Homo-oligomer: A and B are copies of this chain.
Amino acid sequence: MEKRLETEMHDTIPLVRALGLKVAQSKDGSVVFNAALTPNINDKGCAFGGSLASLLTLSCWSVLRAHTWAQQIPSDIFVHTSRIVYIAPIWADFTVHASLSSQALRLFTETLTAKGKAAAIIRAEVRAADGVAATIEARFVAKTPDSADRQ
């Protein structure tokens, strides 16, 4: 699943190539990215907040994308709202960890299958040498191709 997620993102989202992320792990309900500092540096020499926002958002999306693939539920998955807290500057390569409980994942899948639309709130964090450097809490919405409510 790691390779499939990485290829899908690199092939369909041009910005992902600039972020230089690697999918280090994808298990049901969790995803880990490796990210290098160099392509994500800012004017102060530490990690750019916009890069962190992109990577955190993508990691949450990846949890739902990998799960809907595994469950064979064709769907589009959109971010709806997000709250990001930047805790400390990052001066080296870092990782991004997103996860959703199996209970929340099951509710998401059941609702998506039954109603053609479902939402989930996912949390992720950036980990650097000194610990957690940024967090996100994001609400995502998924819709199946036959949903009447597609945007």
Contact = CB atoms under 8 A, between A and B. Distances in A.
Interface of A: 8-9, 12-15, 17-19, 38-44, 48-51, 53-55, 57-58, 61, 76, 78-86, 88-89, 151
Most buried by B among A54, A61, A151: A54
Nearest to A79: B49
Contact of A14 (B12, B41, B86): B41
A78 B57 contact: no
A76 B44 CA distance: 7
A15 B151 CA distance: 29
A7 to B, nearest CB: 11
Contact of A57 (B8, B17, B40, B53): B53
Given A53-B57, A82-B83, A18 B14 contact: yes
Contact of A84 (B17, B38, B40, B82): B82
